[in-house]
Structure 1
């Protein structure tokens, strides 16, 4: 019986292998000029305000993940952040415009969030200053770059359904910022409001009014930080892109008020959507959001070239994400494609919803053990530099390809994402410089042997060993047991798991001879580093 079962499994695996198709693909990398740039700390994650009784679809996945009740003493949390050396964390979310800061001459009582018939179904909440001190001690210890979202509804009144009017009351924010400075807490950037742009989500504010309030906030920042160099950035509006609204905000706020335009992305739909996996693996669906990146870039170039574009919050699926999808391997196809695509449109920062909390956390809400997307983010952070390089591919849209200068070293890093469930892509990487040379000197090239041409085509890749052989470095990501909804990611066949001491595991590449074949199997992801790639923009 055992023999027959083994033989059956062998035939099944053989059938699966035979069903795969092989496709040759040429990727031409142009390293002569960067097409866009990101911030050094492009990878960002959020910490939200949701209390434990925030529920969607009969699930309550937030636990104690709020900035108010997050267990800052958990060793896994600190180690996960410290692995990035300098990680940006954006504190903000739906309830930030309901938060009171328990400092100064507060005009009302400062109580905890409770279920109520107000914005997003909760009452106003409170941030006590002893907790704020604890949070900042933790951020300082772990090397966090802090972006903090301020309450932009304070002092306003609801005029009609979801439409809020009146001037923003800056007194509580002023006292809070002043306290923050007095305690020596370092804030990289202050963000104004959350999802109040356009028609808003829980509430909306007119763009002209919002611009006037931003000018007021900028004046406060400049006054309170007058002896600081550099001063914290002012970023806004932290909402969904609405062309007319965003255009007017930049026009009315004027030159150098907004340092970064933040927008939110949830392009996969609701967390309960039964088609989420198919959307994640559909290149046409993934590409639709590129129009938003393009439009925001045009808005900034036309009305505010002093500002940069940030994705201030992005979780893929909204309403807390999707259990057993947002926290599994399959989500990395969406997440890494987002990071690659956004960077090509000059997005400087990309904040993932969330670091911990909901179903889309980089870390498990209960155990703080990293989910697969955590390792995807860490690999990007360690391998992909600021300069974005042009890539042209002959492959079908199911092979997504992005290139950057390598981070902290010479050469380039290439990200390859295979969305196909049956095509194994055999990749040839070419340098546009060498292609141009061959075109210009075609007669001479024809006289040379195939070996010499191949050597010339790949002479810019790899680290040279003592025998003169060149290498490339590969980081191949697959799900455990081939299960796309596995919570365990494999790196070059080895499971990524915390060490016995709770440390982040080493993320070591496989070194491969540069002239050996390179492939990206179906439904897998590969980072490839070419240390000696001849890219003038990376020097």
Structure 2
């Protein structure tokens, strides 16, 4: 047994001592409990990344130039010091495209709070220095064509929303489709396809998104009805997702409920006004507010890498789901649920969002939501701020990226009941094995820092175990070998290690995918 001690945490690299729990698995008889989209695991590229502008400042932010500081296109009512200017992202970069392709098939959602007030300039002119009245930013044709081209290259379908700020509204304050019409027309003209769209980003915080003062559920209902009428003519194959709510059902981990922006209108208020107008129910979820937001609101920040390794932290995800599932059941019964924006913490994430410790939460989120049939989970972001799957400066993959790649390679859309549960700090999920008829994949998450777990398997297979030298490292190892992408974005060989039928041990602080191609599960044919 090799043991590495770092930051007071004992990490076991080899699994040679007795497990605390041993459970027999019957992969051939596991029942199908749900089916998800082939693009279940997806990602966001924020509109502000595409246009350039002020997005959440990394904790290791570089100093800004006066010109960058002068840029003010940031959400209403939030301290501008929370943000840092970024030039428009170059979506033509071969390295970025190659890394994103490793997550195909996926949805690429280009939205965010900044989309609410971004004007689509439907000409080939460069962006003006000052946006039109009623907007805070300009999205050019060239920038949007870059998005379309990237989506094709990366095997991603587009998801978005439209501008809803003052510039889109008539004298009565009602939303009009004039600006959106050019956006949809141009997308089609350059070979793009918008698979799904929300009306606006996070209407439960309408004031932050630039909606008119006092924007109500009734206002939202009026506007969404106008948008749906427009959408079904302009792009009849596009799904209308909504309402895209956030902030309900889960309070901050520290128990604080005051000090933040006012939540208005509420989801029930909006859905009472719209009626069953949406093709699917969408919501956003973050486990908490990050250090940036809690400090801005004068609240004590309580989350640490240690709290991030607890069942209570993981279970916040299901608290959010259960809250919004109840709204779905009441107002949109039978409709699919889509989680169109999520990550470790809102406002750019905490520092540990980019570290190995977040892999445990991330995989538990995917496992639990897939078992509930959530259609798609869109991570925020692909490559920006601390919660990006990739480092925004170098595009170096972070630990969550490597876990996402393994999910894509091993987990099919058919979700199974594993039929077993592990004691203590460990969880098991199951799905059909991707690209193997009758095969089954197990996801085993052992977040205990000292106790092993074990499963007894009736057939042989392969295991892919992710670990790190320490939880707060950005290093990720697969079966003991560090994963590093090439300078061109190429991925290393990510082969599994063979496991025989019988007892298989899972070391503390590891996440493992175990593929069982010989399971002969009838639900997986």
* TM-score (norm. length: structure 1): 0.77
Give SS of 1:22's match: coil
Query: Closer, same or farther in 2 for the Cα pair 1:373/1:502, shift >3 Å?
Result: same
* Deviation of 1:350 (Å): 0.4
C-alpha separation between the residues in 1 aligned to 2:10 and 2:399? Answer: 29
Question: Unpaired runs of 5+ in structure 1?
Answer: 1-7, 158-164, 430-457, 462-470
Query: Closer, same or farther in 2 for the Cα pair 1:495/1:28, shift >3 Å?
Result: same
Q: Does 1:134 align with 2:146?
A: yes
Return the match for 2:266 from 237, 245, 257.
245
C-alpha separation between the residues in 2 aligned to 1:28 and 1:145? Answer: 36
Return the match for 1:26 from 3, 23, 28.
23
Q: Give deviations 1:167-190, integer Å, cap 9, x for gaps.
A: 222211122112222333222112
* Deviation of 1:251 (Å): 4.5
Q: Are 2:440 and 2:524, in contact at CA under 8 Å, matched by a contact in 1?
A: yes
* Deviation of 1:538 (Å): 1.9
Q: Are 1:146 and 1:188, in contact at CA under 8 Å, matched by a contact in 2?
A: yes
* Deviation of 1:28 (Å): 5.0
Q: Does 1:384 align with 2:411?
A: yes
C-alpha separation between the residues in 1 aligned to 2:41 and 2:361? Answer: 15
Give SS of 1:317's match: coil
Residue in 1 that maps onto 2:41: 43
C-alpha separation between the residues in 1 aligned to 2:11 and 2:58? Answer: 40
C-alpha separation between the residues in 1 aligned to 2:424 and 2:173? Answer: 48
C-alpha separation between the residues in 2 aligned to 1:212 and 1:344? Answer: 35
Query: Closer, same or farther in 2 for the Cα pair 1:298/1:19, shift >3 Å?
Result: same
Q: Does 1:535 align with 2:521?
A: yes
C-alpha separation between the residues in 1 aligned to 2:379 and 2:164? Answer: 22
Aligned length: 466
* TM-score (norm. length: structure 2): 0.79
Residue in 1 that maps onto 2:387: 360
Q: Over alpha carbons, which structure has the higher Rg?
A: 1
C-alpha separation between the residues in 2 aligned to 1:207 and 1:249? Answer: 4
Moved more, 129-138 or 380-389: 129-138
Residue in 2 that maps onto 1:171: 178
Q: Are 1:147 and 1:190, in contact at CA under 8 Å, matched by a contact in 2?
A: yes
**Mapping for residues 200-219 of structure 1, pairs under 5 Å:** 205-219=215-229
Residue in 2 that maps onto 1:153: 165
Q: Does 1:476 align with 2:481?
A: no
* Deviation of 1:33 (Å): 3.4
Residue in 2 that maps onto 1:78: 97
Question: Unpaired runs of 5+ in structure 2?
Answer: 69-83, 250-264, 293-300
**Mapping for residues 218-297 of structure 1, pairs under 5 Å:** 218-225=228-235, 231-240=237-246, 242=248, 245-255=266-276, 257-271=277-291, 273=301, 275-297=303-325
Return the match for 1:421 from 426, 434, 449.
449
* Deviation of 1:191 (Å): 2.0
* Deviation of 1:289 (Å): 2.9
Q: Are 1:150 and 1:173, in contact at CA under 8 Å, matched by a contact in 2?
A: yes
Q: Are 1:89 and 1:147, in contact at CA under 8 Å, matched by a contact in 2?
A: yes
* Deviation of 1:27 (Å): 5.7
Give SS of 1:373's match: helix
Return the match for 2:122 from 103, 106, 130.
103
Query: Closer, same or farther in 2 for the Cα pair 1:202/1:188, shift >3 Å?
Result: closer
Q: Are 1:66 and 1:357, in contact at CA under 8 Å, matched by a contact in 2?
A: no
Give SS of 1:352's match: strand
